[in-house]
Amino acid sequence: MRYVYDVVVVGAGNGGLSAASKLAQAGLKVIMLEKHNLPGGVATSLVRGRFEFEASLHELCDVGTEEQPLAVRNIFKGLGVDAPMVNEKNLFRAIVTGEDGYDVTLKAGEALFEESLEAACPGSGKSIKKLKDLLAKTREALAYNDRMNGRPNKLVMIFKYSKFLIAASHSVDEVLRSLGFSKKARSVLETYWLYLGVPADELNAFHYFQMLRGYIDSGAGVPEHKSYGLSLGLAESVLKNGGEIRYNTEVDRFLYDDDKRVIGVAAGGDEYYAKQVVSNVIPHNVFNMSERRNTAEKDRKLLNARRFGLSFVCLYVGLDRSAEELGIKDYTVFVAKKDSSRTQYDDDADLGVYVVNCLNVAVPDATPAGTCSMFFSIPVFSDKLMNGVEPENYKQFKSEIAKRYIADYEQVTGIRISDCIEEISVATPVTFARYFGSPNGTAYGYRLSRWDGLMARILSAADEFKIKGLTFCGGHTASGDGFGVSYASGLEAADRVLALLKEEGV
Ligand SMILES: Cc1cc2nc3c(=O)[nH]c(=O)nc-3n(C[C@H](O)[C@H](O)[C@H](O)COP(=O)(O)OP(=O)(O)OC[C@H]3O[C@@H](n4cnc5c(N)ncnc54)[C@H](O)[C@@H]3O)c2cc1C
């Protein structure tokens, strides 16, 4: 069959959903094609026995509160989607075992954050004040940049926001050192590096501080009905506004005209033509679904140069006791053997660092009464962890890794969970690669690096993948990975498409 639309959106992950929702709201004839039987991509749930497990979300950043909403809540409000969320009061508990180890809990909210950091690392007061100024300047500089539509006056930036410019060209660790933080305070403050997947001595300070600021302001945002609740809300909004969604529809080809313009996609023998196509699918895969003559050499070179971001081994554990009975008080616990993010990164195959969430601490009724669930995320930065894993020993690998990390968690926290496990499921990079078709099972799009950090990407975004008729959205685009940014990238893609269609008189 041959179908014709104003816009085809490929993929119903966070970016595809927000893009389709906004485009449908604008009254366009939109269809979203999704290879799975449900929306959300990573933002989904899995059901085992009487447990519905959150598949991916630890925490949403930059949510604000109901009274003072920030970016993420505003996105849902703007799309008319009900997205009930709680704000977790602690940022995290970080436990570092071994030499120079510590057990620190940082709190959300500016005053409580400063108080808890000073209590954990006495003598940090002056440095905290400097950090606070820098975070405020970063926010002001970004607001100015937004007001100028991404074209700030260079002199204003140099004279008014010089601190921001300096921080933006250094790593997190370099900036924290320059602010005078002690080794321990740096290690504690750098805990969130895992959420961007790049060690603090390489990670861009501006990018990291933007995230840190978002968490300090209002704590972790946790949706009351898991991330799948948010995905369903967005999918309903697409339909409510007259858009269509076709599930179980895997796009296998991007269609181009003689002018190398994308004019549609093909899926299962059907062809969907459109004035504009939005891809929530990673460029690597789109290029593999496009004839080589239609893609630019410059873009292919960029894709070859980029590395993939981290993947995860995840344990979804359902326990037949409540969190209170087990003595679990923390929503997020980071565990590491060493205090430096570089060592944690290098030791990824050896309990380098992992994070454990107990959803019931934030949302008490997230599982049936008398039970609770735990979500272990073990980052996979290299192929060391899965070296030697073959189809015949894959099950054994999953079972051994689960035992190893659960035993470590029990030993480190003194909380015993292994004798009350009712359900357990293990996902690996292979699971993610199979589910999304993402290269190497990357969960975080392209790896951030010094040459390919957030600043560099934003500055060169307008020149990347200039393919007529095609706009990308999702965690693999310029702003990097994460729930908030992928929702925002969908809205940006929709705005671009609306502007292009307006130019064409649609
Ligand atoms: C374990 C884990 C934990 C995470 N924790 C957090 C966290 O705590 N906080 C945070 O902010 N971020 C977190 N993230 C990252 C976050 O989940 C992602 O950045 C975000 O969900 C990516 O959204 P996306 O728009 O890129 O879509 P994706 O989720 O990548 O979805 C793409 C969609 O396209 C579909 N698709 C692919 N190919 C085709 C095709 N050929 N035809 C049709 N459809 C296709 C897929 O099925 C999928 O539905 C985590 C990720 C993982 C994996």
pLDDT of residue 458: 75
Mutual orientation of helices 483-503 and 14-25 as an angle, nearest 10°? 40
Same domain, 341 and 420: yes
In a domain, 125, yes or no: yes
Q: Could you give the CA distance from residue 396 to residue 52 in angstroms, rounded to a whole number?
A: 24
Is there a domain that residue 142 lies in? yes
Q: At 147, is the secondary structure helix, strand, or coil?
A: helix
Residues 338 and 414 in one domain: yes
Number of structural domains the chain divides into:
3
Among the atoms of ligand 1, which is closest to the Cα of residue 58? 8
Q: Which residues pair with 85 in a beta bridge?
A: 223
Q: Are residues 395 and 321 part of one domain?
A: yes
Residues 458 and 412 in one domain: no
Ligand 1 pocket check for 59: Cβ under 6 Å: yes
For residue 305, report the distance from its CA to the centre of ligand 1, in Å: 22
Instruction: Give exposure, 444-457, as e/b (b: 16+ Cβ within 10 Å).
Output: bbbbbeeebbbeeb
**476 lies in the same domain as 452:** yes
Both structure tokens of 166: 């300096």
CA of 234 to the centre of ligand 1 (A): 15
Distant-in-sequence, close-in-space partners of 161: CB < 8 Å, separation ≥ 6? 137, 140, 141, 144
| Strands of 311-319's sheet in order across | 102-107, 90-96, 332-336, 353-358, 372-380, 311-319, 421-427
- 121 and 68 in a common domain: no
Residue 166's identity, in one-letter code, is I
Res 32: pLDDT = 98
Residue 125 alpha carbon to ligand 1 centre in Å: 39
Domain shared by 429 and 454, yes or no:
no
Would you say the CB of residue 177 lies under 6 angstroms from ligand 1? no
- Assigned domain for 103 exists: no
Q: Whose CA is nearest to atom 50 of ligand 1?
A: 56
Q: Provide the pLDDT for residue 162.
A: 84
Q: Which atom of ligand 1 lies nearest, measured to the CA of 250?
A: 42
**91 closest CA partner among 225, 175, 195:** 195
Ligand 1, atom nearest to 16 Cα: 25
Q: Is the CB of 104 under 6 A from ligand 1?
A: no
Q: By the 8 A CB rule, do 221 and 87 touch? A: yes
**Cβ of 443 below 6 Å from ligand 1:** yes
Q: Is 464 helix (H, G, I), strand (E, B) or coil?
A: coil
Residue 342 to residue 200: CA distance in whole angstroms: 7
Crossing angle, helix 110-120 and helix 205-218, to 10 degrees? 110
Q: Distance between CA atoms of 274 and 32, rounded to whole angstroms? A: 12
Strand partners, 286: none
Report if residue 90 sits inside a domain: no
Determine the residue type at 183. Answer: K
Identify whether 285 is part of a domain: yes
Is residue 288 domain-shared with residue 387, that is, in the same domain? no
CATH number, domain containing residue 299 = 3.50.50.60
Question: Is 209 among the domain residues?
Answer: yes
DSSP string, 231-296: HHHHHHHHHHTT-EEE-S--EEEEEE-TTS-EEEEEETTEEEEEEEEEE-S-HHHHHHTS-GGGS-
Q: If you ran DSSP here, which 8-state letter would residue 339 be given?
A: S
Ligand 1, pocket-test mutation among 483, 491, 492, most atoms within 8 A of CB: 483
311 in contact with ligand 1, CB cutoff 6 A: no
The confidence score (pLDDT) of residue 70 equals: 92
Does the beta carbon of 483 sit less than 6 angstroms from any atom of ligand 1?
Answer: yes
Are both 496 and 463 inside the same structural domain? yes
- What are the tokens at 430? 């292979």
Q: Is residue 91 part of a domain?
A: no
Ligand 1 center to 54 CA (angstroms): 13
Ligand 1 neighbourhood includes 268 CB (under 6 angstroms): no
- Residues 92 and 191 sit within 8 Å (Cβ to Cβ): yes
Please indicate, yes or no, whether residues 291 and 315 belong to a single structural domain of this protein. Answer: no
CA of 77 to the centre of ligand 1 (A): 22
Burial category of 321 from C-beta neighbours within 10 Å (exposed 0-12, middle 13-18, buried 19 and up): middle
Q: Whose CA is nearest to atom 52 of ligand 1?
A: 56
Secondary structure (3-state) at 95: strand
Strand pairing class (85-87; 244-246):
unpaired
Nearest in space to 110 (alpha carbons), one of 207, 34, 212 = 212
Indicate if ligand 1 lies below 6 Å from the C-beta of 220: no
- Alpha carbon nearest to ligand 1 atom 12, residue: 482
Instruction: Please report the pLDDT score of residue 210 as a whole number.
Output: 87
- Alpha carbon distance 485, 124 (integer Å): 31
pLDDT of residue 161: 84
How many angstroms is it from 362 CA to the middle of ligand 1? 23
User: For the chain (length 506 residues), average pLDDT per consecutive 10?
Assistant: 98 98 98 98 96 97 93 96 95 93 96 96 94 86 78 83 83 96 97 95 91 91 97 98 98 97 97 98 95 94 89 96 98 96 89 95 98 96 88 96 97 97 97 86 83 78 86 85 93 96 84
* Same domain, yes or no: 250 and 368: no
- Do 414 and 316 lie in one domain? The reply is yes
Q: Is 214 in the pocket of ligand 1 (CB under 6 A)?
A: no
Q: Which of 159, 182, 216 is the last residue of a domain?
A: 216
- Domain encompassing residue 386: 310-436
Ligand 1 neighbour 217 (Cβ under 6 A)? no
Cβ-in-10-Å burial (0-12, 13-18, 19+) of 365 comes to exposed
Give pLDDT, residue 386: 87
pLDDT for position 169: 86
**Separation of CA 443 and ligand 1 centre (Å):** 7
Q: Which atom of ligand 1 lies nearest, measured to the CA of 490?
A: 25
Q: Where is 424: in which H helix or E strand?
A: strand 421-427
pTM value?
Answer: 0.94
Structure-token match 């959106």, residue found: 9
Pick from 174, 195, 216: which residue ends a domain?
A: 216
**Residue 93, in any domain of the structure:** no
DSSP result, 349-368: TTT-EEEEEEHHHHSGGGS-
Note the pLDDT of residue 153: 83
Residue where a domain stops, chosen among 173, 191, 216: 216
Q: Which are the contacts of 239, defined by CB distance < 8 A and separation ≥ 6?
A: 245
Write out the two tokens for 84.
């009930």
Q: Which of 10, 17, 42, 471 to mutate to test the pocket of ligand 1 (most atoms within 8 A of CB)?
A: 42
Residue to probe by mutation, ligand 1, list 56, 232, 313, most atoms within 8 Å of CB: 56
pLDDT reported for residue 247: 98
Half-sphere exposure (CA, 13 Å, Cβ side) for 429?
Answer: 20
pLDDT at 160: 86
User: Ligand 1 center to residue 20 CA distance, Å?
Assistant: 16
